[in-house]
């Protein structure tokens, strides 16, 4: 469903009751259907990867011992796949391709693996399409502002630019301005080179570096968000290859890969809930199946200092946590990895520029974005049919 400037949509009540909301790792028992699904039962499996909870929910005939064991082994395959992707992309895994790239000297060539080569290729595509609004080369700024994994748990300052925290683990102050501007200058992702040669994969770091108080710094990458989206894509692909048509894969609630539901009355679609960015529960629901979706927002990883919210999403043009009129965006109609990059870019661009980008470069993508002005929340979406749960949220005219 494309974006049309001349259209002005309103929330339309769904014409059927949808009993399941994708907010937890739970799955309803199947209802009566026209196809032989009566023996299928839902079961969910949970594990952690990329420091977030992963939920795999599948329908199978668990009364058949062999089928139950096959399903268990399939989930183990998914876990192994996620571990392989994490071990390639995570900045907190010292041996990962991305961690080795980050430790390399400016201008150095690094041998990487096929996974990191593939994901970097997706990242470069989305960097170009979004005009640089999506930019994974902000790793130094992400660390400067305190959003890398080392700040979780028992954090102790180790870098020259690190800040002290109080007894509750909260920062006393903001980063120094000289570090903010210097690290922002290291985020030219367009200068990163990747290539394949004789079956091996390589990445070359840009030559630019900065020196502050005698310490040199070069570009660092952060592929956390797009990496989780890629894992969702590959996990769903594996499930389908193993013959599973019913279920879903939820990656930390930011990326979701939906198969089919077993509910005939919903045309085998799921009731997909969008988490409220400022309250409990969901603000919107719609019906989806055989689709991937990714969400970005300022509410997942943030802190408040002097009554200002600082999010983990860094604006590459400033080297600071982004500041626009949007607080969350959800995208579907793309692979989850690309959708994650696009939803991040939407937040950084703000509503007006984001709508222009969607209209020009992503006309078939479906989206919902929420803006905030004081206590007023506004929804902009091109969904044809949805259920708005927050009755205090206003619907924006889509005309730009």
Between 41-45, 275-279, 395-399, the lowest mean confidence (pLDDT) is in 395-399
Residue 7 CA to residue 319 CA, distance in Å, equals 36
- For the cut 60, the answer to whether the pLDDT of residue 106 exceeds it is yes
For residue range 12-71, list pLDDT tens digits in order: 333 222 223 344 454 443 333 333 567 889 999 999 999 899 999 999 999 899 999 999
pLDDT of residue 153: 80
As to burial, measured by CB atoms within 10 angstroms (0-12 exposed, 13-18 middle, 19+ buried), residue 262 is: buried
For residue range 208-250, list pLDDT tens digits in order: 999 999 999 999 999 988 999 999 999 999 999 999 999 999 9
Domains located in the chain, CATH noted:
41-89+225-395 (3.10.520.10), 97-222 (3.10.520.10)
The phi, psi pair for 195, rounded to 5°, reads: -160, 160
Which whole number is the average pLDDT over 70-86? 97
Residue 82 CA to residue 153 CA, distance in Å, equals 23
DSSP annotation of 199 reads: T
pLDDT band at 5 (very low <50, low <70, confident <90, very high): very low
Sequence-distant contacts of 111-117: CB under 8 A, at least 24 apart: 111/200, 111/201, 111/202, 112/194, 112/201, 112/202, 112/203, 113/88, 113/201, 114/201, 115/84, 115/85, 115/88, 115/89, 116/88, 116/89, 116/201, 116/203, 116/223, 117/194, 117/196, 117/201, 117/203
pLDDT of residue 36: 56
- For the cut 50, the answer to whether the pLDDT of residue 276 exceeds it is yes
- Mean per-residue pLDDT over the chain, rounded: 90
What is the 3-state secondary structure of 70-101? HHHHHHHHHHHHHHHHHHHHCCCCCCCHHHHH
- For the cut 60, the answer to whether the pLDDT of residue 77 exceeds it is yes
| Structure tokens, 316 | 């590459």
Between 75-89, 133-147, 163-177, 311-325, the lowest mean confidence (pLDDT) is in 163-177
Q: How far is CA 15 from CA 21, 76, 77, 387, 392, in A?
A: 16, 38, 38, 10, 22
* 3 state DSSP class of 348: helix
| Helix (H), strand (E) at residue 44 | strand 41-49
The phi, psi pair for 91, rounded to 5°, reads: -75, -20
Between 35-44, 132-141, 143-152, 264-273, the lowest mean confidence (pLDDT) is in 35-44
- β-bridge mates for residue 217, sequence order: 210
Give 144's contacts (C-beta < 8 A, 6+ positions apart): 161, 175, 179, 180, 183, 319
- For the cut 70, the answer to whether the pLDDT of residue 124 exceeds it is yes
DSSP annotation of 322 reads: -
pTM of the model: 0.90
Q: How far is CA 323 from CA 173, 279, 314, 362, in A?
A: 18, 20, 9, 23
- For the cut 90, the answer to whether the pLDDT of residue 302 exceeds it is yes
Count of residues in the chain: 400
Residue 303 CA to residue 145 CA, distance in Å, equals 10
């Amino acid at each position: 469903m494309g974006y049309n400037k001349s259209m002005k949509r309103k929330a339309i009540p769904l014409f059927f009751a949808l009993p399941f909301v994708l907010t937890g790792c739970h799955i309803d028992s199947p209802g009566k259907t026209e196809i032989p699904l009566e023996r299928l039962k839902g079961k969910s499996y949970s594990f952690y990867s990329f420091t977030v909870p992963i939920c795999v929910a599948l329908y199978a005939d668990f009364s058949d011992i062999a089928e139950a064991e096959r399903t268990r082994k399939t989930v183990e395959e998914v876990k192994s796949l996620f571990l392989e992707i994490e071990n390639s992309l995570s900045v907190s895994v010292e041996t990962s391709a991305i961690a080795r790239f980050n430790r390399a000297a400016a201008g150095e060539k690094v041998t990487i693996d096929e996974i990191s080569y593939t994901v970097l290729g997706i990242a470069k595509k989305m960097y170009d399409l979004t005009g640089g609004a999506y930019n994974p080369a902000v790793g130094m700024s992400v660390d400067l502002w305190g959003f890398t994994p080392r700040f979780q748990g028992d954090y102790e300052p180790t870098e020259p630019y690190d800040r002290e925290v109080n007894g509750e683990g909260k920062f006393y102050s903001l980063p120094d301005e000289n570090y903010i501007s210097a690290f922002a200058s290291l985020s030219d992702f367009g200068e990163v080179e990747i290539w394949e040669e004789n079956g091996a994969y390589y990445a070359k770091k840009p030559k630019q570096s900065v020196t502050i108080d005698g310490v040199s710094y070069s570009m660092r990458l952060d592929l956390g968000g797009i990496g989780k989206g890629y894992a969702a894509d590959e996990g769903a692909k594996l499930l389908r290859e193993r013959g599973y048509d019913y279920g879903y894969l939820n990656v930390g609630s930011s990326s979701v890969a939906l198969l089919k539901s077993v509910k005939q009355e919903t045309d085998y679609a799921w009731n997909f809930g969008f988490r409220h960015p400022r309250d409990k529960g969901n603000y919107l629901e719609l019906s989806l199946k055989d689709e991937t979706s990714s969400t970005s927002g300022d509410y997942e990883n943030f802190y408040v200092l002097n009554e200002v919210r600082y999010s983990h999403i860094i604006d590459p043009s400033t080297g600071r946590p982004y500041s626009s009129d949007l607080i969350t965006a959800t995208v579907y109609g793309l692979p989850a990895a690309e959708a994650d990059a696009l939803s991040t870019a939407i937040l950084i661009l703000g509503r007006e520029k984001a709508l222009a980008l969607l209209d020009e470069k992503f006309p078939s993508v479906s989206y919902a974005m929420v803006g905030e002005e004081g206590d007023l929340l506004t929804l902009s979406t091109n969904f044809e049919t949805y259920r708005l749960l927050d009755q205090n949220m206003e619907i924006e005219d889509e005309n730009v």
